[in-house]
Amino acid sequence: MSINLSIVQKYDLEAYTLEQAQQEDVQQLLDVCAQNIGAVNEDQITKAFKLCYLSHNGVTRASGEPYYYHPVEVAKIVAQEINIDDISVIAALLHDTVEDTDIGLDQIRQWFGNEVAIIIDGVTKITGVFKTRDSKQAETFMKLLLSMAEDIRVILIKFADRLHNMRTIQHLRREKQIQIASETMDLYAPLAHRFGLFTIKNELEDLCFKTIDPTSFKFVARKLREKKESREAYIDELMMPVGRQLAEQNLSFEIKGRPKHIYSIYRKMQRQQKPFEEIYDLFAIRIILEEPHTKEDCWRVYSIITDWYTPIPERFRDFISVPKANGYQSLHTTVITNRGKKIEVQIRTRKMDNIAERGLAAHWKYKEGEQSGSDTLDRFVSWVREVLDNPRPDSSTDFVKDFQLNLYQEEIYVFTPKGELRTLPFNATPIDFAFEIHSEVGERAMAAKVNDKMVPLRHKLRNGDQVEIITGSKINLNPDWMDDVVTHKAKSRIRQFIKQKQRKVADIGREIWEKRCAKAKLDITDQELTRVARKFKYESTQGLFFDLGSGSIELATVFKEAKKFKSTGKIDTEEDQIQDAQNISTEQVHQKYFDAARSYGQGNALILNGDISHVKYTYANCCSPIPGDEVLGFISRNGDVKIHRSMCNNAQHLLKNEGDRIIDVKWAKSIDSKFLGAIRVIGEDRVGMINDITDVLSKSLSTNMKSINVSSDEGMFEGIITLYVDGIAHLDKIMKRLERLQGVKNVLRYE
Ligand code: MN
């Protein structure tokens, strides 16, 4: 270990006295620690604070605030929302020092011990990986997980770091904001979900949503405020008799019933194409029993509720006896109220609620005293290891895809023949189960028995099934299984198998090819053959060899083309032109548009429908943006710009894979052309409905309609109308007007 003496003298931490303002900062942090963690080493935290303050001294953030605010806020998040221990608070305070200041890791180790040094080293490494822009995100993600496996606190601090950066994102440039928000949405939020850090995940998602699509965010937020009182009054009325009885039985409790997570409401509205009101009504009421109430008391509450309201038996869930893999525990029941409405009620203790909101880390507090806590954590860590230990898939994007799938699926619980419990994602089949038991069982699976009956391997498993796999002596893995599995483990093993098989076929193809060339004495290099392969739309010779091997392409056809190329040296295909266009670098294009935009005095944004004639852009068909929508520009491979709505699925996909190709775009202040918008009208199927709709459009709003598509079913009417509008304000006006028509239930923007 080398200790830099000048550093030790420069930062004489013991002797240094903090100013009044910083003294208050440190006291505030210590208070947060005392409230959330309990006993902490206050001297060490104060020492870390001093080093944090001194080492970042003179540096400011994009907001103009002194830099040290950031690590202090991160430390507060760690203490308050993740509340693990003082080591992680100290590491959070110092998480940027090694990276950004003259302090080395050895110094940290000497002052704060090995544990803190290891965590900071982990955080620095992750940050470094994120900064290398050209590394594919999936790869980054892998490394991130790897370092987490060393000490899980590394990743918890990274969550806190990202959360604070998202909270203060408004100070960055718009493109940067969107890029960070989209990365957070894709990687951090799902991972936080897996950790069970639900509060953090929800806040991250809301902040991302607010950044990417501020208009929709504000819309839902406003609706929530408007509905708050009537919702609370309704819950009060509903819970009054129940509450009285709970009090009689000496149960102390809290009732929560107001949803706060804006993004999940918006997502449900989009997914189910339903208006805010319908989604909002579905949100659950939660009854939380205060300490020292136990799970038995949860059952008492359940019994009281069902005395007053009729439960729907199929909707009952007992996550107390069988917790979810992430540690979530609660009773769920759906009851019918005396107004005939269905409402979900969740019953849990305060501790269960803490775990539900703060996740597994909340268990850490009890890790000494309680067995179950560390058990759950161990299960989680072993899950992560399992993902990492799997044979590495060839394509890292596939990895992220599988991973995200697993995160968002709901779980089912099945039993092995010995009665052991296994958690699988929803829609899992016996094949998934087999790979879950062991990769060899998966590879040799021949048939399956579910609850003692023979079923096909592709049979969908259900909660509570007992599953037995019948294996053969040889490998029986079938590439077609790919469509029948949902777990990461099964997918990656099958993919690997397919790759191996493909390689064999391609080897045969190469042999055939080389024999043919040798016979005709045609001498063609691999590079030359690649160009021939492109002519036939193959990305590489490997694909060509595979198809030759499997007989999907004729040897004679390829050979003829190769011979022609050899003698003329020319293949004129579209492929070549595209190849040239790809040579326009992203920087060049950025520069071109920034210059253009700047010359019109609009900062760095490309102005849509203004009069910048030399900038070529088109509107994406997938989401048909109209003026007023939140939009993004993507520089396409040939240098054009495609305009998407920020929340469009395709745009989200592009953001994820080619975030460096975004450019900021804005609508011009005045636009005189018309845009195509679509709306969906739902209502009663009454005489004259279509007439009334077209009347509103043509007579009172003088709007031109392009098409109207009508269907009716069981007395309900549904119309999809495309029309020419000036922009979002115009579309809103139309929607409001249509909503007022007799019998119309609901008008929505249609995508
Ligand atoms: Mn940081």
Which pLDDT tens digit goes with each residue over 1-28?
455 667 767 778 888 888 898 999 999 9
Provide mean pLDDT across the span 192-196.
Answer: 69
Within 610-702, strands assigned E span 617-619, 631-635, 641-645, 662-663, 665-667, 675-684
Which one has a higher pLDDT value, 452 or 146? 452
At 368 the pLDDT is 38
How many angstroms does the Cα of residue 310 sit away from the middle of ligand 1? 51
Q: What totals of helices (H) and strands (E) does the chain contain, helices first?
A: 32, 21
Q: What is the pLDDT of residues 301-341, one digit of tens each?
A: 999 999 888 888 878 889 888 877 666 789 999 888 877 77
Which one has a higher pLDDT value, 369 or 610? 610
Whether the predicted pLDDT of 209 surpasses 80: yes
> How far, in Å, CA of 434 to CA of 445, rounded?
7
pTM attached to this predicted model:
0.58
How many angstroms does the Cα of residue 162 sit away from the middle of ligand 1? 7
How many angstroms does the Cα of residue 683 sit away from the middle of ligand 1? 52
Q: Are strands 453-455 and 445-450 parallel, antiparallel or unpaired?
A: antiparallel
> How far, in Å, CA of 83 to CA of 372, rounded?
18
Whether the predicted pLDDT of 109 surpasses 90: yes
At 93 the pLDDT is 96
How many angstroms does the Cα of residue 545 sit away from the middle of ligand 1? 49
Q: What is the DSSP letter of 283?
A: P
Pick the catalytic residue from 100, 357, 468, 640: 100
At 67 the pLDDT is 94
How many angstroms does the Cα of residue 401 sit away from the middle of ligand 1? 27
Q: What is the pLDDT of residues 616-641, one digit of tens each?
A: 777 877 778 888 888 888 776 656 77
Residues near 724 by Cβ (< 8 Å), separated by ≥ 6?
A: 674, 675, 676, 677, 703, 704, 705, 706
How many angstroms does the Cα of residue 161 sit away from the middle of ligand 1? 5
Provide mean pLDDT across the span 343-358.
Answer: 85
Q: How confident is the model at residue 613 (pLDDT cuts 50, 70, 90)?
A: very low
Q: Among residues 679, 729, 723, 688, which one has the least CA distance to residue 702?
A: 723
How many angstroms does the Cα of residue 264 sit away from the middle of ligand 1? 27
How many angstroms does the Cα of residue 441 sit away from the middle of ligand 1? 45
Whether the predicted pLDDT of 43 surpasses 60: yes
Most confident stretch, 207-216, 569-578, 584-593: 207-216
Q: Would you say 67 and 22 are in contact if contact means Cβ atoms under 8 Å apart?
A: no
Most confident stretch, 64-78, 284-298, 329-343, 684-698: 64-78
At 379 the pLDDT is 52
Centroid of chain to Cα 28: 33
Whether the upstream peptide bond of residue 190 has omega within 30° of 0, thus cis, is no
Residue ranges and CATH numbers for the domains of the chain are: 5-212 (1.10.3210.10), 220-366 (3.30.460.10), 495-582 (no CATH), 586-667 (no CATH), 675-749 (3.30.70.260)
At 504 the pLDDT is 86
At 181 the pLDDT is 92
How many angstroms does the Cα of residue 50 sit away from the middle of ligand 1? 17
Q: What is the pLDDT of residues 258-294, one digit of tens each?
A: 777 899 889 888 888 888 887 776 678 899 999 888 8
Q: How confident is the model at residue 53 (pLDDT cuts 50, 70, 90)?
A: very high
Angle formed by the axes of helices 69-77 and 86-93, to 10°? 160
Q: Would you say 115 and 88 are in contact if contact means Cβ atoms under 8 Å apart?
A: no
How many angstroms does the Cα of residue 123 sit away from the middle of ligand 1? 9
Q: For residue 626, which phi and psi values (nearest 5 degrees)?
A: -125, 155
Pick the catalytic residue from 99, 106, 468, 575: 99
Q: How far is CA 154 from CA 103, 151, 594, 713, in A?
A: 19, 6, 39, 55
How many angstroms does the Cα of residue 475 sit away from the middle of ligand 1? 49
Tell me the Ramachandran region of residue 213: left when phi exceeds 0, alpha when psi lies from -120 to 50, beta otherwise.
Answer: beta
At 338 the pLDDT is 76
Answer positive or negative: Cα dihedral of 479, 480, 485, 486. positive
Structure tokens at 624: 């048909």
Q: Are strands 716-725 and 285-289 parallel, antiparallel or unpaired?
A: unpaired
Provide mean pLDDT across the span 340-360.
Answer: 81
At 392 the pLDDT is 39
Q: How confident is the model at residue 574 (pLDDT cuts 50, 70, 90)?
A: very low
Q: What is the pLDDT of residues 474-500, one digit of tens each?
A: 888 888 898 899 988 899 899 888 888
At 128 the pLDDT is 55
How many angstroms does the Cα of residue 280 sit away from the middle of ligand 1? 36
Which one has a higher pLDDT value, 319 or 550? 319
> How far, in Å, CA of 637 to CA of 308, rounded?
63
At 275 the pLDDT is 84
At 257 the pLDDT is 80
> How far, in Å, CA of 625 to CA of 642, rounded?
11
Q: How confident is the model at residue 388 (pLDDT cuts 50, 70, 90)?
A: very low
Q: How confident is the model at residue 349 (pLDDT cuts 50, 70, 90)?
A: very high
At 373 the pLDDT is 38
Q: For residue 112, which phi and psi values (nearest 5 degrees)?
A: -125, 0
Structure tokens at 591: 């520069």
Q: Would you say 126 and 143 are in contact if contact means Cβ atoms under 8 Å apart?
A: yes
Active site residue 232: no
Tell me the Ramachandran region of residue 464: left when phi exceeds 0, alpha when psi lies from -120 to 50, beta otherwise.
Answer: left
At 95 the pLDDT is 93
Active site residue 99: yes
At 688 the pLDDT is 85
Average pLDDT in the chain = 79
Tell me the Ramachandran region of residue 724: left when phi exceeds 0, alpha when psi lies from -120 to 50, beta otherwise.
Answer: beta
Q: Among residues 287, 194, 196, 192, which one has the least CA distance to residue 243?
A: 287
Q: Are strands 310-311 and 331-336 parallel, antiparallel or unpaired?
A: antiparallel
At 408 the pLDDT is 39
Which one has a higher pLDDT value, 587 or 402? 587
Q: Where are the alpha helices (DSSP H) in 569-648?
A: 574-581, 586-599
